[in-house]
Amino acid sequence: MWNSKLKRVICNLKSLNKPPKSFTALVSLGLFSLYFVAHMGNAQEDSNNSSSPEHSSVQYPVDSAEAWLVKLSSAVKSLNYSISLVVLKPGVDSQPYLWRHAIDDNGVELEQLNLLNGPGREVVRIGNKVSYFEPNVPPYSLQSKTINGPFPSELLYDPEKLFASYEFVLVGKSRVSGRAAQQIRVISKDKSRFGLNLWLDQQSGLILKMNMVNLEGQLLEQIQVTAIQVSEKPDPFFARIEQGMLPDILVLRNQVDNPPRWKITNLPVGMHIIKQDIHRLPMTGDVVDYILLSDGLVDVSIYLQPLPSASASQDLIGRHESNTILTRQIGDVSVTVVGKVPAVTADAILKSIQVVQ
């Protein structure tokens, strides 16, 4: 089912002069949720699972892709480093970041991620406290073991959770940012998601480059490290942080455990429903059902909006940056799927959505 082609192209967004306001609002909220709502969910999950193994208990062959991923995870969590990187996405300006990590004298992890263009966005992590500083938003902190950055957190911190859903294949050695690198290809086992090409520093194990490619191998998105420095001591930046001045941890209110109203009967291998609740659209004030799917590498947001009597929604399919956006009517409900997955996968997920009886 996942490899079958869509029998018809519904409509390309570029051919529309004015997409419906409700669709525009869903797209706006969907792209926002892929960053913020997923992170809030991860933060809440982290608070319930405060400890995790630092190193793999499984021994993989030295020259295997799995061993390289374990080396990456260990390096990300244990080394002092400063990395400059650039995120390149279609249709938007390049996004340069500065990423620092250190271990202090007490063995506590310290981390900073700073978006260098525009008004900026800075995230600082001290142990399990992650503080966010963003334009037009009061500073806040969440309890989490990771920073939600350009690279998927599961890939960096717990790649073994991905081994059941993805194949990791050693490709060969090359040179990235002036450093010897090991290339690894990442392929979903059911061919339902985009592929990744990774380049890891042979010396440290840290990531140097990541390309996202479509099912035909064409480049969709790239993260390129431009400079990397591994040091014995933490970067002096961390000594300047006044931890007492960081915002308090935001206490997330427990939502009422309402029974789910929707179920999805056909999900890609390894993808699960990790959040299901109700949102209010910021642009229209409309209330929609929200479902967040994730496999650890990819997040997919789904919005279900009741339609007024005797009205119909317009079927739409398009792309924003690397995200597929698909809207279709199911009965008297308009459904929108937003995520970094092929259109055929978004279509298969949407078709399998059913009302819980």
Are 104 and 145 contained in the same domain?
A: yes
> pLDDT tens digits for 114-123?
999 998 899 9
More confident residue, 18 or 172: 172
CATH of the domain at 102: 2.50.20.10
Are 138 and 272 contained in the same domain?
A: no
Are 228 and 113 contained in the same domain?
A: yes
Are 237 and 262 contained in the same domain?
A: no
301-312 average pLDDT score: 82
Among 222, 245, 268, the domain boundary falls at 245
Q: Which domain holds residue 186?
A: 59-245
Are 333 and 299 contained in the same domain?
A: yes
Are 236 and 267 contained in the same domain?
A: no
In a domain, 220, yes or no: yes
> pLDDT tens digits for 12-26?
333 333 344 444 444
68-73 average pLDDT score: 97
Res. 152: pLDDT tops 80: yes
310 — pLDDT class (breaks 50, 70, 90): low
Are 235 and 269 contained in the same domain?
A: no
**Residue 138: how many CA atoms within 13 Å on its side-chain side?**
5
In a domain, 46, yes or no: no
The count of domains in the chain is 2
Are 237 and 127 contained in the same domain?
A: yes
In a domain, 6, yes or no: no
Are 140 and 199 contained in the same domain?
A: yes
Q: How far apart are CA 101 and CA 121, in angstroms?
A: 17
Q: How far apart are CA 112 and CA 176, in angstroms?
A: 23
Are 298 and 209 contained in the same domain?
A: no
Res. 271: pLDDT tops 60: yes
Are 184 and 136 contained in the same domain?
A: yes
Of the listed ranges 24-33, 64-73, 74-83, 302-311, the least confidently predicted one is 24-33
